[in-house]
Amino acid sequence: MAKCTFLGLGVMGYPMAGHLVKAGHEVTVWNRTASKSLKWEAEYEGKQHSDIVRAVQGADFVMICVGEDKDVYDVVEPAVVTLESNAIIIDHTTASAQCARKCHEMAKAKSIGFIDAPISGGEAGAKNGQLTIMCGGDEIDFGKAAPIMGAYAKATKHMGPSGAGQLTKMVNQICIAGILQGLAEGVHFAQKAGLDVDEVVEAIGKGAAQSWQMDNRASTMAKGEYDFGFAVDWMRKDLGIALETAKGVGAKLVLAKMVDGYYADIQKLGGNRWDTSSLLKRLII
């Protein structure tokens, strides 16, 4: 059993922290909105603090799942001056590789480990403890943290030094953006051609066109249902990080840039909180 603190109880963090309790760890949580941490405390019979410093005191592992770079800095800075040496910070936020490297340096200066560990699998993956985690940082720290992350992950892989986890998550989001746009156009075409989308998916879903997005989102897209977790606002944040990073490494992200623009169209339609499969919406208006 480890002493864990979880900072950030959003759609993903709330159930992830719960899985740590179920795995037998001692868990303390903090959330910017205190009502959420109080609700979690009552549901999981864990502990919560309204102050980050008090929440992380004595922790072996501190998990973070917040919004973006500035939010990561806001919680890492007080954590590294409070934690004891040899504690490990695991950041599940999707942030920039630059943020990960800076936080790694801050932590190492205090003899604390830092792993950038962005997650994939969506709300369902978090609730079911079936997330995929791509990690950057020192291999020895990853080796200590991997069994703890196993409470909410089905796959955890060390990708290289600090920042490598975030870079891998960028690849993940680039691929998802292209797949979703292709699926949106396929569903749109099927509807216009008078085909039953569910029957089309049954016919082609075991062949080369198959994807997780097809299996889980084609039917709901066809029904105009866009309330399945990962929001357009967050996808645009992630693609923005990838597009900015691409400039620095000399990568050409033609399709990702195009799809990011399509998501901007969705935002103009008021779909900021629609899930990422809502790309279909802009094709049918």
The pLDDT confidence band at residue 285, using thresholds 50, 70 and 90, is: confident
- pLDDT tens digit string along 184-213? 999 999 999 999 999 999 999 999 999 999
pLDDT of residue 45: 83
pLDDT of residue 190: 98
The pLDDT confidence band at residue 228, using thresholds 50, 70 and 90, is: confident
- Is the pLDDT assigned to residue 225 strictly greater than 80? yes
Instruction: Tell me the two tokens of residue 222.
Output: 């066809």
Name the DSSP class of 4: E
Cα separation, 173 vs 273, whole angstroms: 17
Q: Domains in the chain, start-ordered, CATH in brackets?
A: 3-161 (3.40.50.720), 167-284 (1.10.1040.10)
The pLDDT confidence band at residue 96, using thresholds 50, 70 and 90, is: very high
What separation, in Å, do the N-terminal and C-terminal C-alpha atoms of the chain show?
54
Cα separation, 238 vs 170, whole angstroms: 7
**E strands, the chain, where?**
3-7, 26-30, 47-48, 61-64, 88-91, 113-116, 119-120, 131-136, 153-160
- Is the pLDDT assigned to residue 100 strictly greater than 80? yes
- Is the pLDDT assigned to residue 156 strictly greater than 80? yes
Instruction: Tell me the two tokens of residue 155.
Output: 């796959």
Q: Calculate mean pLDDT across residues 96-114.
A: 98
Q: Calculate mean pLDDT across residues 167-181.
A: 97
Q: Which of 102, 127, 169, 281 is catalytic?
A: 169
Q: Which residue has tokens 């990690």?
A: 135
Mean pLDDT estimate for the chain: 97
- pLDDT tens digit string along 41-87? 999 988 999 999 999 999 999 999 999 999 999 999 999 999 999 99
Is 268 in the active site? no
The pLDDT confidence band at residue 117, using thresholds 50, 70 and 90, is: very high
Q: Hey, what amino acid is at 201?
A: V
Of the candidates 279, 169, 263, 260, the residue with the CA atom closest to the CA atom of residue 220: 279
- Is the pLDDT assigned to residue 160 strictly greater than 90? yes
Return the ∠ at Cα 175 (arms to 174 and 178), rounded to 5°: 90
- pLDDT tens digit string along 238-279? 999 999 999 999 999 999 999 999 999 999 999 999 999 999
Cα separation, 188 vs 278, whole angstroms: 12
- Is the pLDDT assigned to residue 18 strictly greater than 90? yes
